[in-house]
Amino acid sequence: MENDSIDHFPYITQLPDDCLYFIFRRLDSNLDRESFGLTCRRCLHIQNSSRRSLHFQCAFTQRSIASLSQSSTEITSFHLHRLLNRFQQLQSLSLSGCTDLPDSGLSLLAHCGSYLQSLHLDCCFGITDHGLFFVASGCTSLTNLSLYRCNVTDIGLETLSKSCFGLKDVNLSYCGLISDHGIRALSQKCPQLRAVKVSHCKNVNGIGFLGCQTLTNLEAESCKLEPEGIMGIVSGGGLEYLSVSNLIWCIQGDGLLSIGAGYAANLRVLNFRLCRTTGDETIVAISKGCPLLEEWNLALCHEIRVSGWESIGLNCQNLKRLHVNRCRNLCDQGLQALRDGCKRLSILYFTRCRLVSSTAIEIFKCLRSDVKIIEQEIMCIAPDWAF
């Protein structure tokens, strides 16, 4: 009797797949999940088909050339193909830091990338337009794509725009071969495009964004933006975060004036750091035309004088964080204007403003005890930025 009861005891492998999937999803640790997959081939299949993300050891989050000197596992096309064959329902894949990976390494995505929503190829120097052809062919559900420092051109961006209609967040920083032609393809054919990074793309002047109503976040630092390009960037009317820092050598005088012309009324975060030639006319227009501004970085903007600071104090009533580090023409009168205005200001990033006296600073601290003065530079952060 005892042996008979043992024979009829149900083994876990006799459970239907739905139950096994349910059990697998309840496992908390990676070790438990790996142990589950080693039980038998059926459990291994359950583990493989449940895998949703894959990040290699060589993947890195701090995207800088220095991080490439760190020891990492070399990922070849052979390794990648074996893993993609094993995990065919991936939604997120990061190959960032696979510096020697060739275009052929992405070829399997043309056949098994239909579930992929997020793909990071940061510093994959071997990836070109040919590799993007494989991505476009199979990854039609893609919403998040990072091509930081990849050797892609406008042709690759056009190829993507014809298949990956759901793209929302795209990082093209340091892609020096792209231009507004490729940007226009994305902005016109990807109806959900919302966040784009084109920093250090020397051939992008901004006109490619003309009429993109879905665009909310844009980083275009150290780009050769033209006045008509700035107008194109804000023309869609939905922009909430804009970083155009370090344009001293690109845009002269009041080329940023169109930001305050009414199209950017939804702006909440604006980064003008190192825009040394931006003057009072631009500042006055923006302070009046962007009433929702909550953070404004004006560090090293040397041409802003009393009338500019007075306009900020008078009109920027939603401003919470203001960066004025090393502004040469911020004086006691300008600081007083900020003190008497900007009623919602909570943080002032302030250091090395040589025309501001210690007395003016102490008066500011006394009368605006609600404002925290931070003597260091901190960069603006985009709200809900995907990368």
- Residue 72, pLDDT > 90, answer no
All domains of the chain in start order, with CATH: 1-50 (no CATH), 52-174 (3.80.10.10), 194-387 (3.80.10.10)
pLDDT at 40: 74
Residue 345 CB burial class (10 angstroms; 0-12, 13-18, ≥19): buried
Mean pLDDT across the stretch 337-347?
Answer: 98
Q: Where residue 63 falls among pLDDT bands split at 50, 70, 90?
A: very low
Mean residue pLDDT across the chain: 87
Q: 329: which 2 tokens? A: 């023409």
Task: Please state, in angstroms and rounded to a whole number, the distance separating the CA atoms of residues 170 and 120.
Answer: 10
Mean pLDDT across the stretch 174-192?
Answer: 98
Closest CA to 141 of 169, 116, 110, 168: 116
Out of 5-9, 33-37, 137-141, the most confident range is 137-141
Q: Where residue 386 falls among pLDDT bands split at 50, 70, 90?
A: low
- Residue 67, pLDDT > 50, answer no
Mean pLDDT across the stretch 65-76?
Answer: 53
- Residue 306, pLDDT > 60, answer yes
pLDDT at 62: 43
pLDDT at 26: 64
Tell me the per-residue pLDDT of 84-121, one tens digit each, with 9 for 90 and over: 888 888 999 999 999 999 999 999 999 989 999 999 99
- Residue 199, pLDDT > 80, answer yes
The model carries a pTM of: 0.86
C-beta separation of 244 from 269 below 8 A: no
Helix (H, G, I), strand (E, B), or coil: what is residue 313? helix
From residue 270, give the alpha-carbon distance in Å to each of 16, 43, 65, 235: 55, 51, 27, 16
Beta-sheet strands, E only, within 149-240: 169-171, 195-197, 217-219
Mean pLDDT across the stretch 326-333?
Answer: 97
Helix axes 332-340, 358-367, angle to 10 degrees: 0
Residue 4 CB burial class (10 angstroms; 0-12, 13-18, ≥19): exposed
- Residue 267, pLDDT > 60, answer yes
Pick the residue with more confidence: 268 or 25? 268
Task: Please state, in angstroms and rounded to a whole number, the distance separating the CA atoms of residues 24 and 50.
Answer: 8
**Percent of all residues in the chain with a pLDDT value above 70, rounded to a whole number:** 79
* Beta-ladder partners of 321: 295, 347
Task: Please state, in angstroms and rounded to a whole number, the distance separating the CA atoms of residues 139 and 135.
Answer: 5
Backbone φ and ψ of 55, nearest 5°: -125, 120
- Residue 233, pLDDT > 60, answer yes
User: Could you give the dihedral angle defined by the CA atoms of residues 367, 369, 375 and 376, in that order, rounded to the nearest 10 degrees?
Assistant: -130
pLDDT at 58: 59
Closest CA to 242 of 224, 266, 276: 266
Supply the Cα-derived Rg of the chain in whole angstroms: 26
pLDDT at 68: 42
pLDDT at 32: 63
pLDDT at 360: 98
- Residue 364, pLDDT > 90, answer yes
pLDDT at 60: 53
